[in-house]
Amino acid sequence: MSATGSTTARTQRFSRLREFISAPEGRPALLGCLGAALITVGGLGAGSTKQHDPVLESIHLSWLRFGHGLVLSSVLLWFGVAAMLVAWLTLGRRAIAGNASEYTMVATTGFWLAPLLLSVPVFSRDTYSYLAQGALLRDGLDPYAVGPVDNPNPLLDNVSPIWTITTAPYGPAFVMVARLVTMLVGNHVIAGTMLLRLCMLPGLALLIWAAPRVARHLGANGPTALWICVLNPLVIIHLMGGVHNEMLMVGLMMAGIALTFERHPVAGITLVAVGVAVKATAGIALPFLVWVWMRQLRERRGYRPLAAFAAAGAYSVLIFVAVFAVLSGLAGVGLGWLTALAGSVKIINWLTIPTATANLVHAIGGWFFPVNFYAVLHVTRAAGIVIIGVSLPLLWWRFRHDDREALAGIAWAMLVVVLFVPAALPWYYTWPLAVVAALAQSRPAVAAIAGFSTWIMVIFKPDGAHGMYSWIHVLIATACAMVAWYSLYRAPEPGVETAESLSTP
């Protein structure tokens, strides 16, 4: 393209963006941007800040972290969350009515994300663990054999105490990303956090690319899919604002699913395998994609069913092994990260059925007889693992007949895993949300997703703690969730011009 043509294209893009901002469809983008800016400012005091922050001290703002300053910071941050939720729900009503385009969703994502790129981590301290684990590999230690405590440095000061002795539960691809970040910025926590957040952007870009493609493949609405799994506050605030490697994993997994559906199974399986090398959860999708590849071999090459299944399964295994061999070799690590996946047992909250059941048995049963909470928890969590072990093969066999069923099977399998693993955190629910975005697009389903996402968003505190043991906090979160559900459940029906909602960016 010539320089003149490039200039013209840029001018057209800016002109379209100006029109978008001035139009009614741009109002949620501006409101959400204001909310994100408030989160960024409030996060300086109320977010998951460093234990000792020389930047705040140098500009005389360390008072934001204590006393009245902390109250002010918290108020600003929660007002920001409220503004983003209102903007998201407003955009959801437009999506239900068929008045939102993919361009609207993508442009809005940019407005909401921009302020958060400068934010301290919010609602989680995991980014500090990522940096400490990357420093282990950088300094010649095996993050799958030792915890951050074995490598004393300034990064260790900000890691949550329960994770200082825990080995890395992440695959070789992500520990290499974390190592690269610490090699570039050393032990500088602030620069490391900012750079690590930028490393999550490819995952977001892949999700923006893949979600509408999968939706269109199944005859669903692309803008609604983007609203569910990209603009969702659990993604924008938790995954990007909180800096979680789920952003990379989910993006790679969805891009792999999209490519496999579009008859590029080798590239698709490869991307999903790389996603597994970030976090193991992406592996749930692989067995279901074998069915998709099998059908393509039957349709395009005339394979018999058994031969097609054997070929698709063998090719998938070979690709998976090759990807892991290459990435593990580059990282210089083995498969020790798989043994660290059990580290989540240290987390105790109400977000999974086994842990919630143990809490209820302890709370209610304690009124009548002595209850050993940890003994009950051991039993309920063991039962949860059994349920997962039985459910996944059954779901894999049940959802095998076409692409829609394969995607539904992945969604159900991920939901079962999230609900019955020993412990979960808010951003874990972005796994099934990304997959279900093309499937759950009826008004009741969208309203249910809005209510659930709002509850999860509000029940956690900006410093990474949760409010599930405070009835006031639970009631506030539930009230917010009901308002979110009702606002979309009563949204206007689509108009005649719904075809416009399928426009591409």
Q: Could you read off the pLDDT of 295-320 as tens digits, one per residue? A: 999 998 888 999 999 999 999 999 99
Q: Take residue 258 and report the two structure tokens written for it.
A: 């999209």
Residue 460's φ and ψ, nearest 5 degrees, are -95, 150
Beta bridge partners, 466, equal 460
Count of CB atoms situated within 10 Å of the CB of 190? 13
Residues 6 or more apart in contact with residue 387 via CB below 8 angstroms: 416, 420
**How many Å apart are CA 432 and CA 285, to the nearest integer?**
11
What's the pLDDT at 20? 85
Amino acid at 419: L
Domain boundaries, the chain: 1-120, 124-336
What single-letter DSSP state applies at residue 399?
Answer: S
The answer to whether residues 488 and 93 touch, using CB atoms and an 8 Å cutoff, is yes
Q: Residue 44 and residue 49: Cα distance in Å, rounded?
A: 7
Cβ-in-10-Å burial (0-12, 13-18, 19+) of 4 comes to exposed
Amino acid 52: pLDDT? 63
pTM: 0.92
| 125 CB-contact burial (10 Å; exposed 0-12 / middle 13-18 / buried 19+) | buried
What are the residue ranges in the chain where pLDDT is below 70? 1-6, 50-61, 63-64, 342-344, 493-505
Tokens of 215: 């939706």
Q: Give SS3 for 302.
A: coil
Per-residue model confidence (pLDDT) at position 16: 82
- 459, 461, 455: which is closest to 480 by C-alpha? 455
DSSP string, 38-101: HHHHHHHHHSS--SS-HHHHHTT-GGGGSHHHHHHHHHHHHHHHHHHHHHHHHHHHHHHTT---
Taking a C-beta distance cutoff of 8 angstroms, is the pair 105, 230 a contact? yes
The structure tokens listed for 342 are: 């059990």
Burial grade of 471 (CB within 10 A; 0-12, 13-18, 19 or more): exposed
pLDDT of residue 55: 61
For residue 57, the model assigns a pLDDT of 60
- Nearest CA to 199 out of 273, 134, 111, 137 is that of 134
C-alpha span between 356 and 367 (Å, rounded): 17
Q: How far apart are CA 246 and CA 238, in angstroms?
A: 10
